[in-house]
A and B are shown apart, each in its own frame.
Chain A
Amino acid sequence: MITPGSKYFFGLTGLSLISAILYMVLVNPSDLGAIALFGLAGSGALIGAMALFTRDGDVYEGEEAVGASSTGGSPSFWPIVFAFGAALVLTGLATVSAVFILGIAVLIGGGVEWSIQNWADGASADQKFNQFARARAISAIEYPGLAAVGLGVIAFFFSRVVLAVSKESGPIIFIVVATAILVVGVLIATKPSMKGTLTVVVSVLAVLALAGAGTFAALSGERHELAVASAEDHYDASHRECGEEASDHYDHLANNTVSLRSAVTATIFVKDGKVYAEAIGMKTKVDTITIPRSNATSVMFRNLDAEQHRLVVNLGSAKVAATGVVEKVGTCTQLTGENQEQVMTLTIPKPATEAEPYSFTVPGATGEIKLVVP
């Protein structure tokens, strides 16, 4: 006899097979989608067979089934959650993708909970046992899931607060909150008598305070310099300020990431008004940097002078197709202060001509580094 648990998976198998065949006929027979659907069908069949073989983990017994058949299921709000998820999915399809993703999550969560609830209701005639079976089947998912959602909500609200307050206040708030959590945690751990209502009240108040502060901060917006920096959009490809710096807020260490720092082919320095370079693996200073054609390659610029400098790469000139005007080609880093760094990533498709060799220069400093693209 087919067990209730395996029915769902066999149903999934059938549905996936039909979907896969329809997909192959209507969309693309060799597409990844068909493979995925067949994979889902195979997985469903395998799990269904396992559920059938193990008789749903021996929970299901013949005589209990007789009793179960005469008892009704317990009231459940999961169908409502499931329907709400479906509504969110449809709304998300018509509006924004975030709503769609949230809908998928609610749909899956509600569906799983509903299925398990339904399965547990039919497990035996004993409601207590059924609740136990349900808890045993779903708790391993519910608790980590709820914890993850809870942590996500806390992180979101807390991040809004830190982004809204001043740069100096952020760490202080972080330390105070972290200390408060530690103290409360220690108190609860060392004074078991505190457990109970008081703990719940403190936790709820803390969450409400965080939610209130986070909501207020989110409505107030990010602090001024972050808002301005965002509006300046330093990551926009059109943001080229090889002349006087026009931006008020820019990150002097914008490229100071481990991945970029560990993948630079050479470092160009300015010291005492002179430019020089070192390349990976070369023992001596180099006056030429070679980078492969058509490949994103990073060069680091390090300013050792008190005066601010920027690195400029000169890549010859080219005729602008729209206007027919010949313009210089090149780019630059942002102004870089003393002992600070910027990384410039270049992708150069063609070698230079003899008439217009490529080079790195630093306005205000003497010397240049030749750039060779073989």
Chain B
Amino acid sequence: MDIVNNVKSSSHRIRNSIATLVGLVFLAGCATNAPQDTWQPRGDNAQVINNLQWIIFPMAGVVGVLVFAFAAYTFWKFKDRGQPIPSQSHGKPIVEIILTIIPALILTVVGVFTFRGIFELSNTEDTQMVINVTGQQWWWEYDYPAQAEQGITQPIITSGQLVIPVGTKVLLRETSRDVIHSYWIPALNGKKDAVPGRINLLRLQADKPGLFAGQCTEFCGLSHANMRMEAIALSKEDFAKWAANQQKAYTSPADGTLAKEGEGVFLNQCIRCHQVNGLKKADGTPALAAPDENVYSGAAPNLSHLMTRNTFAGAKFDLLNKTCRSDVWDASPEAIGAKYLAGVSESCLNATDLRAWLRNAPAMKPMYSDPTKLGPSGGKYRGMPNLGLTETDIDKLVAYLLTLK
């Protein structure tokens, strides 16, 4: 008897646990603080997808519930109770015809709306701005070709955060330097793979200023989950200011400052992979990074104007501390532009993560950067290695990086 009770009790526990789990999953769907929610479109393209979802999901839901209910009813009603096997019949043309026509009609409706959506999303004829997006393990690079009508007279290059003007039809030309990645900012459009050797097009448009989170959605290696991105939509005036700042010439820190010493450390260490446009060596010649000699993908983030971004290391870490980050992320559409353009000041800097990254990057984000295990990548790093910097060097570098605005 005890054994029977124990079995019943554990059976109840399992049933209750499953019910609780299902309830929690269901409740999680009601979360409002979900920056990657596909049901909260913030632009025309995402709205097209959302409209399609509102047609297909209810239909699929109704069909699913009906099928499950009918199956459950059948299992319960006709379960083996020892009754004799009922008489068997074969074929019922009317039922078969109905069961063929109904799904065909449903699929026709779904197909019509789906194809309409696909054609709408593939339209690039009225593009107003073009940005090249290049994925590599595990960060995104954005380069803006010269487009005078957008105030870009010389190419801009940045990473981690995509900056776009509000109400502008932006065309992303996606590709990859190493493996297949996939670009996805749910609030602005669907996913699009970034494939080596190919250029895939994705259109984005934001209705209002704001910050929109995204994530690589094609498994791309060890730190795939840490390959994030953010899109920042600014008003046209604010975008013009941002673009003008990105095209500003490099200014070397004043002599005798800690930042100037940091520039020296950068030229000794970081320039092997990271470019800062306009930076010159001591002899006055341009300091050109050589990521192709050290990194598997052949590229490392260009750090020009680094402190105008809010994140680093593939948008995995914030450059802003928690207070200042909330100040930007929670800002109203009217206020976000000014807050974002303020960049990262010394008081707002997330020095803890930045210093930890400079101290030992592989400890912060999983990467293939163990010097003894670079055989498969031909001796090149995938990610940033531990440079063995001293605390003094880190102080100098942080001071220098803070000047890159």
Binding site for B on A (CB under 8 A): 259, 262-265, 279-283, 286, 288-298, 347, 349-351, 353-354, 372, 374
Q: Which residue of A lies closest to B178 (CB)?
A: A295
Complex contact B146–A280 (CB within 8 A): no
Complex contact B134–A295 (CB within 8 A): yes
Complex contact B130–A294 (CB within 8 A): no
- Interface readout for B255-277 with A: 1 if CB under 8 Å, 0 if not? 00000000000000000000101
Complex contact A293–B299 (CB within 8 A): yes
Determine the chain A residues whose CB is within 8 A of the CB of B201 once the complex forms.
280-281
Complex contact A292–B127 (CB within 8 A): no
Q: List 23 A-B contacts (CB under 8 A).
A: A263-B197, A281-B201, A282-B127, A282-B130, A289-B145, A290-B132, A292-B141, A293-B298, A293-B299, A294-B177, A294-B297, A295-B175, A298-B197, A347-B298, A349-B290, A349-B291, A349-B293, A349-B298, A350-B288, A350-B289, A353-B286, A354-B286, A372-B146
Contact A290 to B143, CB < 8 A, known contacts A280-B199, A374-B157 = yes
Contact A288 to B145, CB < 8 A, known contacts A294-B177, A294-B299, A372-B155 = yes
Determine the distance from Cα of A291 to Cα of B175 in the docked complex, in whole angstroms: 11
Check B171 for interface membership: any CB of A closer than 8 A: yes
Chain A nearest Cβ from B204, distance in angstroms: 12
Complex contact A265–B173 (CB within 8 A): yes
Complex contact B199–A265 (CB within 8 A): yes
Chain A nearest Cβ from B318, distance in angstroms: 25
Determine the chain A residues whose CB is within 8 A of the CB of B175 once the complex forms.
292, 295, 297
Complex contact A263–B199 (CB within 8 A): yes
Determine the distance from Cα of A351 to Cα of B143 in the docked complex, in whole angstroms: 13
Contact A374 to B298, CB < 8 A, known contacts A280-B201, A281-B124, A292-B177 = no
Chain B nearest Cβ from A281, distance in angstroms: 4
The 8 closest A-B CB pairs, nearest first, are A294-B298, A349-B292, A374-B157, A290-B145, A281-B171, A281-B130, A263-B198, A292-B134
Determine the chain B residues whose CB is within 8 A of the CB of A282 once the complex forms.
127, 130, 145, 147
Determine the distance from Cα of A197 to Cα of B143 in the docked complex, in whole angstroms: 72
Determine the chain A residues whose CB is within 8 A of the CB of B197 once the complex forms.
259, 263, 296, 298
Complex contact A350–B292 (CB within 8 A): yes
- Interface readout for B140-180 with A: 1 if CB under 8 Å, 0 if not? 01010111000000011100000000000001010101000
User: Given A280-B130, A281-B130, A372-B145, 20 more contacts at CB 8 Å?
Assistant: A263-B199, A265-B199, A280-B201, A288-B155, A292-B132, A292-B143, A294-B291, A295-B175, A295-B196, A295-B298, A296-B197, A297-B175, A347-B298, A349-B291, A349-B293, A349-B298, A350-B288, A350-B290, A350-B292, A374-B156
Chain A nearest Cβ from B386, distance in angstroms: 23
Determine the distance from Cα of A262 to Cα of B291 in the docked complex, in whole angstroms: 28
Chain B nearest Cβ from A212, distance in angstroms: 44
Residue from A288, A351, A354 in contact with B146 in the complex, judged by beta carbons closer than 8 Å: A288
Check B40 for interface membership: any CB of A closer than 8 A: no
Contact A290 to B297, CB < 8 A, known contacts A279-B145, A281-B171, A349-B290 = no
Determine the distance from Cα of A265 to Cα of B143 in the docked complex, in whole angstroms: 13
Complex contact A281–B127 (CB within 8 A): yes
Determine the chain A residues whose CB is within 8 A of the CB of B302 once the complex forms.
374
Complex contact B299–A292 (CB within 8 A): yes
Chain B nearest Cβ from A27, distance in angstroms: 15
Determine the chain A residues whose CB is within 8 A of the CB of B286 once the complex forms.
353-354
Determine the chain B residues whose CB is within 8 A of the CB of A280 once the complex forms.
130, 173, 199, 201
Chain B nearest Cβ from A180, distance in angstroms: 43
Complex contact B199–A290 (CB within 8 A): no
Chain B nearest Cβ from A268, distance in angstroms: 15
Chain B nearest Cβ from A68, distance in angstroms: 38
Contact A281 to B173, CB < 8 A, known contacts A292-B132, A372-B155 = yes
Determine the distance from Cα of A253 to Cα of B197 in the docked complex, in whole angstroms: 19
Determine the chain A residues whose CB is within 8 A of the CB of B177 once the complex forms.
292, 294-295
List B residues 288-338 near A (Cβ within 8 Å): 288-293, 297-299, 302
Complex contact A351–B145 (CB within 8 A): no
Determine the chain A residues whose CB is within 8 A of the CB of B157 once the complex forms.
374
Chain B nearest Cβ from A287, distance in angstroms: 9
Determine the chain A residues whose CB is within 8 A of the CB of B124 once the complex forms.
281
Complex contact A279–B130 (CB within 8 A): yes
Determine the chain A residues whose CB is within 8 A of the CB of B277 once the complex forms.
374
Q: Which residue of A lies closest to B126 (CB)?
A: A283
Chain A nearest Cβ from B299, distance in angstroms: 5
Determine the chain B residues whose CB is within 8 A of the CB of A293 once the complex forms.
291-292, 298-299
Determine the distance from Cα of A296 to Cα of B195 in the docked complex, in whole angstroms: 11
Complex contact A294–B146 (CB within 8 A): no
Complex contact B298–A290 (CB within 8 A): no
Determine the distance from Cα of A354 to Cα of B286 in the docked complex, in whole angstroms: 9
Q: Which residue of A lies closest to B155 (CB)?
A: A374
Q: Which residue of A lies closest to B291 (CB)?
A: A294
Chain B nearest Cβ from A334, distance in angstroms: 21
Chain B nearest Cβ from A349, distance in angstroms: 4
Determine the chain A residues whose CB is within 8 A of the CB of B143 once the complex forms.
290, 292, 374
Q: Which residue of A lies closest to B299 (CB)?
A: A294
Determine the distance from Cα of A286 to Cα of B155 in the docked complex, in whole angstroms: 13
Q: Which residue of A lies closest to B195 (CB)?
A: A263
Chain A nearest Cβ from B271, distance in angstroms: 12
Determine the chain B residues whose CB is within 8 A of the CB of A297 once the complex forms.
175
Q: Which residue of B lies closest to A289 (CB)?
A: B145
Determine the chain A residues whose CB is within 8 A of the CB of B173 once the complex forms.
265, 280-281
Chain A nearest Cβ from B210, distance in angstroms: 24
Contact A262 to B298, CB < 8 A, known contacts A281-B127, A290-B155 = no
Determine the distance from Cα of A263 to Cα of B124 in the docked complex, in whole angstroms: 16
Chain B nearest Cβ from A239, distance in angstroms: 21
Complex contact B145–A296 (CB within 8 A): no
Determine the distance from Cα of A71 to Cα of B246 in the docked complex, in whole angstroms: 89
Chain B nearest Cβ from A37, distance in angstroms: 21
Chain A CB count within 10 A is highest, among B293, B297, B298, for B298
Contact A295 to B299, CB < 8 A, known contacts A262-B198, A281-B124, A350-B290 = yes
Determine the chain A residues whose CB is within 8 A of the CB of B171 once the complex forms.
281
Q: Which residue of A lies closest to B145 (CB)?
A: A290
Contact A351 to B141, CB < 8 A, known contacts A293-B298, A374-B155 = no
Determine the chain B residues whose CB is within 8 A of the CB of A349 once the complex forms.
290-293, 298
Determine the chain A residues whose CB is within 8 A of the CB of B198 once the complex forms.
259, 262-263
Q: Which residue of A lies closest to B143 (CB)?
A: A374
